[in-house]
Every structure is written in structure tokens, then in C-alpha cells.
Structure 1
Amino acid sequence: MLDSIIPLLSDPAAWAALITLVVMEVVLGIDNLIFISILSNKLPPEHRQRTRRIGIGLALIMRLALLAAIGWIVGLTAPVFDLGLHGETFDTAFSWRDLILIAGGLFLVWKATKEIHHAVDTTPSNDMLEKDKKDVVINNVGAAIVQIILLDLVFSVDSILTAVGMTDHVPIMMVAVIIAVAVMLLASDPLADFIDKNPTVVMLALGFLLMIGMVLIADGFGVHVPKGYIYAAMAFSALVEGLNMWARAAQIRKNQAEEAAQAALNRAETAEPGV
């Protein structure tokens, strides 16, 4: 392993491939990080950070294991069955990669829809109130980690197959994955805290997950949507929401200043008769 890495250190093409792969893995990891943040924020505060770290740590182990079995991963693109209904819109020859993407997309759409309904419907569940709190927390932590791992499997297969087209060197892919996951680990807590403190951002993030889920389903059916369009739409939406947050913060400061001025005026009018 070491003998295969040392020659790459003096190869400019290897460094260029590494930087490109790191950027790609970080960008592709945004989807996963949003999902992890929303999922972990549903847990009690004392369990959130630990759940995120466990989920991301297990995701790293899984990605490295998939890279070690790169030959098997590449084989997932071979068709396993064909419905025989070929057309210009989509292809009906499905591989294991297609089926994984479709299943992951359906899961994302279901999960995002469920979370949106939960955010809109504020009626408490009587069954949940009757359960023992400790058991509910344990079950939720375990369920959250399982969901993080299952969804990361979908993104891992897609990103690794993309990486295969950029370089043939598995050590470069492994280093890129380790760096990208380390960035995810560092960014997970600040992003989760930001989402938790801004409820409107949660709805925007759930909208992102719905869009990403539909893109995964379309990709599974052979309709490839350029990733640049997706991330450009996400960036524009985030910019608009940032402007809304800025406007709301400015309005709050204005209201506070007006209230302070009115309070000072009231105090002055109250004190005036005694002068």
C-alpha cells in the first residue's frame, strides 16, 4: 500500500485529481450533511452531537470499505434486468446502482415529506406522551444512526462511481474521502446549530431534500440532471433565505430601537411633573 502511495506524491496529476476529488466529495456531502443535521436536531440536545459523530464516523468506515471493494462497486453499473421499453425519455434497463438510487430517492422524498408534515402539524401525539421518555430517546438515537448510514450508502455509491471516472488510484480516492468526511465532521455541529436556531431554514433544507430525492429517482431511471443546476438552485435559494433573515434581523433591531425610544419618552414624561 505504501509503495503505491509514495510515487503519487511527486505526480502533479495525482495532486490535481486529489484536490478535485476533495472538492467533489465535500460538495456531494452537503446533501448528506443537511439530512444528518435535520435528523439529529429531532433528538434531545445531549444526544445530538454524539449521534452526528457516530453516524459520520460509521459513514467514513463504510466508504473506505466500499473503496476497498471498488471492483464490486463498478460492477453495480451492469444491468440486472430490462423491461424492454426503451424510449427517448428514460431507459428501462436497470442496474443495482439504479435500484439503489431509486430506493434512496424514494426514502428521501418520504422522509422529507414526513418532516414537513411534522413541522406543520403541531398537534402532540398522545401515544408518544404515554411512552417512557428514556426508551423513546434510545430508540430514536438508534433509528437516527441507522437512517444516516442507509442514506450515506446511497450517496457513497454515487460519489465513488463518479470518482472512478476521475482517477484510477484507489489511495487518492481514500485520502479524498477521509478529508471530505473530516470537513463534514467539523461542519456538522455549526450547521446543525444554525438550522436549529432558524426554523425557516429547516423548511428550506427539507425542500432541498425533496429536490435531491427526485433527482436520485430520475437518475435511477436514466434521466441525468446536471449536478451544477441542482447546486446552483440550492445556492440561489440559500441566498434568498439569507436576505430574508437579514431583513428580519434589521426589522427586529428597528422595533427594539423604537421600543427603547418610546420607553425613554415615557420615563421622561413621568419624571417631568416632579421637576
Structure 2
Amino acid sequence: MSDSPWFVSRPTSSRAPYLAYCFPHAGGNARSFLSWQQHLEADAELVGVCAPGRGLRLDEPSPAGIAELAEGAARAVAAAADRPFLLFGHSFGAVLAFETARRLREHPLLRHLVASGCAAPRLLPSERVRQTAKLRGQEFTEAVAFFGGLPPEVLAEPELQDLLLPGLRADFHLVSGYRYQPDEPLPIGISLVNGREDPHVGPAELRHWEHESVLPLRYHWADGGHFYFGPDPAPAVDLLRSLIRADSSAPSAREEHVELI
């Protein structure tokens, strides 16, 4: 795998035939995906995507917007991808993965986009996200708690919030400034995976993804809320494995409808 600062990975013992680029949620750490590698086994090398100004790249300038961030990610992926690959993103990461896919639409090795826990881009940003991005301090923390994913100790301790939440605030600011631009649908399939109890994203928010691909959407529902994969990553990992194996056995998968689990 490339030694680019954009990527973190835990390579398999032998060279995997496929790459799965994973974009974290707002305030998330790309390294959190690396534990999924053991479940993918030798089917694919999982690669976490690290944004400038976040995580291990705190000393770098933060991007001005999602478009700039997607441009950088697309350049990094295009330079590194030497095998068929898909893009996976959760929540904020799904928007970024989508915009990255748009910029990679002509790349011959791009196979699929998996959007997790995210409304259709043309509906973003939601009013709740716009209002949350304007808040500060404890009000911001309490508003973010609606989405889930914050440990109780963070909600209770302002000191921990000051330490752990600056990246989350910055990502909410990026999302609140996102402006969808109509474009031709992607020439690859799009799979959606969402928690059934997600209070922010439901069927009404998902159906408009149908405008973003020339192929039919594939829906996959998991038990749980917005962070359905927190207790058990199986719903997300099983979906990735299914797509990867189906594509590996069907060279023309970009043109075919692949049935999921």
C-alpha cells in the first residue's frame, strides 16, 4: 500500500487482490476501521482515509470545504490504487466518499460506492446539521449526542470535550457548508447500509440516492441506530465482502446488477 499520509492500513500476509478505501464519520478516526481487516481476511486490503488537519495529520492545514477535501482524496487514491477498489464511507464519510467517487468516475479500477448512514447528497446538509454546526460548548455536545456515538464520559466532562471534539466541530462545519452540485450519475453501483433505528436517516432520506448511479440502488438494513456497526461490524463488513467477492467473480460487474446477501 502507498506510504501517502492520506492512508493507514494493516496489510494482509499476502497481497490482497482488492482495496477497500474507508472514510470515517465526522470526528472519526480512520484507524478505527483497521480492526475490520481480520474479518475481510485475504479478500481485500482495507485502507482508512485520513484527512488533513485530523488525527495523525493535525499539523497540516484543514481543507476549506468538502470539495477541496474530495479533490485531495481523489488524487491520492488515483495515485495509489493498483488493484480494483471500492469506496466506503459512513455519515460525513459517505458524502466525502461520494464526492471522491465523482472525481474518480473515469478511473478504470473503481468498482463500487458504499454509503452508510447518510441521506442522499442532494438533501444535505440537513436542518439539524446546519443548526448543530452553529452551536458551541455544551450545547454542541448535547446536540451531537442525538446522532449517538459519544461515550457518556465525554458528555459529562467538559475537559474531555475540549480534547476530543475539535475535529468533530470542524467536520460539522464542513458538512454545513456543503452544496450539492447536479452531475451525471456515476457509472458504478451504489449500495446503502443503514441502521433501522437511525433517528436521522430513514427511507425517505435514502431514496434520492437513486439519481446518483446508472444502476439500481441496493439497500441493506442493520439492527441498531446511526452507529449500527459499533457493537458488531458484521453488517458493514459482510456487505463489503459480498461486493468484493461478487466483483472478483464477475469481470463485468460495473454493468451487471449484483445481488447482495
Relative contact order (alpha carbons < 8 A, sep ≥ 6): 1 or 2 greater? 1
Q: TM-score, normalised by structure 1?
A: 0.29
Larger Rg: 1
* TM-score, structure 2 as length reference: 0.30
Q: Pick the structure with more strand per residue.
A: 2
Where is the helix percentage greater, Structure 1 or Structure 2?
Answer: 1
